[in-house]
Structure 1
Amino acid sequence: MILDSFRLDGRVAVVTGAGRGIGAATALALAEAGADVAIAARTADQLEEVAGKVRALGRRAVVFPGDLSDTDTLTAFADTAAAELGRLDIVINNVGGTMPNTFLTTTPKFLDQAFHFNVTTAHALTVAATPHMLENDGGSVVNISSALGRVPGRGYLAYGTAKAALAHWTRMAATDLSPRIRVNAIAVGSVLTSALDVVAQQPDIKKRIEDATPLQRIGEPWEIAAAAVYLCSPAGGYVTGKILEVDGGLTAPNLDLGLPDL
């Protein structure tokens, strides 16, 4: 049966930024597909809520609160997951993000921080997880990138540059880690997470985003999670070094920040 190829029974996944939004949806989707999951984020209460839902699905869950901008924390996360769940097969590098900024106020420090939070963290967790994955049959890494890593938009220089770097890191790491570990990314568009809470509460802005999106709507976290399950499962077993665009068909940013010319 073709649907059997999407199963993840007996696998263990680590998911960063899993207290809410795309990270939480992905953790639950992986659990529904049969995986045990270790989840990390800053807020313990949010993680415990997600873990309860994972356990209700009959899967094991490990909660790991911490500052995921700290690379030592990410190393400890991978080691803890492998120790408590017995193995490690899947890495979801979801944590990331950077606030919009104007060109002249995008300081070198701001750019460095964007790169660190979106790229260095993914590298650190993957490096820590790789020896554990190699102990078994290899594994799969999925990075959450963005459509803004591909299309230019005013005000998104730091974020878009960091996500573009993450996309190319994906291609480079896939080359380094093949054939036993596959590395892919999902370039997401506008998705209804906490980052868009303000937008969802302002119908005029929400409509502008929808009108500028070819599919005429904002995405849902489960749609990104479904793509992650595909990339992690045997169904995606012949895919590595690729960026899967799940963005509603974007060819340009769908939120104009209205920044004036210099």
Structure 2
Amino acid sequence: MILDRFRVPDRVAVVTGAGRGIGAATALALAEAGADVVLAARTRSQLDEVAERIAGTGRKAHAVAADLADPAAAGALADAAVTRFGRLDIVVNNVGGALPRPLLDTSTGFLEDAVRFNVSTAHALTRAAVPAMLENGGGSIVNITSVVGRVAGRGYLAYGTAKAALAHYTRLAAADLAPSIRVNAVSAGSIATSALDVVVGDPELRERVEAATPLRRIGDPEEIATTVVYLASPAGGYLTGKVLEVDGGQQVPNLDLGLPDL
């Protein structure tokens, strides 16, 4: 059956930023598709909740509470997967972020921290995962980037630059790792996660954001998760080096921060 191509039976995945939002939805989706999952984030209690939900699917989860702003901590997750489950097949680099701020308030250090958190962490885990994946014939890596890495708006310099770098990192890594390991990305638009609480909780602001989105709504974390499952599974087996835009059709930013001219 065609739906069987969307399954990843008895595969092992690592998902970063898995305590909530897109990461939690993705980890659960991969488990429902047949994978055991290593969950990584800062907050142990959140990871334990996700692990309990995964157990309810009949799959196994291993929670690793770590500060993934440190690339070394991210890299160690590959070994954790092999130690716990004996293999590694799928990596989802979901951790990242950077607060908006005007250009003149964006120090060099702030920009470097954004690149480190969004790109260096993904590279550390990718680099560590490759040998383990090759032991079983290959695998799939999915990076979570953002529409802000493609469209330009005031206040997003650090975050947008880092996410644009992650998108092109995806293309370059795909070239280096083909044909055994596929590398793709999901460019997420405005998704109802904790990062968007200020929008979701303010009816007027939410209406403005939705009106500026062609599909006229905010996305759900599961809509990113299902895209990850597609990319990680045999259903997406002929894709590598691609960035799938799951953003409600955005061509411009849908949240104006109201920063004035200098």
Code of the residue aligned with 1:238 in structure 2: it is: Y
Work out the CA distance in 2 between the residues paired with 1:32 and 1:15. 14
Matched, 1:238 2:238: yes
Residue 204 (structure 1) aligns with: 204
Matched, 1:190 2:157: no
Residue 91 (structure 1) aligns with: 91
Residue 60 (structure 1) aligns with: 60
Query: Does the 8 A contact of 2:199 with 2:206 survive in 1?
Result: yes
TM-score in terms of structure 2 length: 0.99
Work out the CA distance in 1 between the residues paired with 2:15 and 2:112. 24
Structure 1 outlier segments of 4+, above 4 Å: none
The DSSP-based 3-state class of the residue aligned with 2:161 is: helix
Identical-pair percentage: 66
Work out the CA distance in 2 between the residues paired with 1:137 and 1:3. 23
Work out the CA distance in 1 between the residues paired with 2:228 and 2:53. 18
Alignment of 1:33-72 (within 5 A): 33-72=33-72
Work out the CA distance in 2 between the residues paired with 1:84 and 1:75. 15
Matched, 1:9 2:9: yes
The DSSP-based 3-state class of the residue aligned with 1:104 is: helix
Unaligned stretches of 5+ in structure 1?
none
Code of the residue aligned with 1:206 in structure 2: it is: R
Residue 116 (structure 2) aligns with: 116
Deviation at 1:122?
0.3
Code of the residue aligned with 1:119 in structure 2: it is: V
Query: Does the 8 A contact of 2:76 with 2:125 survive in 1?
Result: no
Residue 74 (structure 2) aligns with: 74
Matched, 1:228 2:228: yes
- Give me the CA root mean square deviation: 0.5
The DSSP-based 3-state class of the residue aligned with 2:39 is: strand
Residue 257 (structure 1) aligns with: 257
Residue 20 (structure 1) aligns with: 20
Residue 162 (structure 1) aligns with: 162
TM-score in terms of structure 1 length: 0.99
Work out the CA distance in 2 between the residues paired with 1:23 and 1:258. 30
Work out the CA distance in 1 between the residues paired with 2:194 and 2:122. 21
